[in-house]
Amino acid sequence: MTSVMVHVSGGSSAAKEPWLWQLGRDFNVQVNIVRANVDVDFGSMEIELKGPVEDIQRSIAWLMTTGLNVESQQRAVGA
């Protein structure tokens, strides 16, 4: 299983969308919230994605289409 840390941030419109739920439902990845700071008009999270490399890559690519700012904190690492 592979693990990747991802930093995700966005404005208030992003907070209204269930993108974490959708990651767990639509992609074969486990989502772990490592750190979060959410306010009324801005939020940021550091999440850990675990799963097959291809599914993590697909989930990160999908996150980038949501309008969120997405930055991988590390490359995929086998565990």
The full DSSP string for 10-48 is EEHHHHTS-HHHHHHHHSS-EEEEEEEEE-SSEEEEEEE
pLDDT-derived band at 69 (thresholds 50, 70, 90) equals very high
Q: Maximum Cα–Cα distance for the chain, whole Å?
A: 37
What percentage of the chain carries pLDDT values higher than 90? 57
What is the reported pLDDT for 36? 93
How far apart (Å, rounded) are the C-alpha atoms in residues 69 and 4? 16
pLDDT-derived band at 40 (thresholds 50, 70, 90) equals confident
Residue 61's SS3 state is helix
Report whether 3 contacts 71 (CB < 8 A): no
What is the reported pLDDT for 79? 47
pLDDT-derived band at 75 (thresholds 50, 70, 90) equals low
Q: Domains, the chain, ranges and CATH?
A: 2-78 (3.30.70.260)
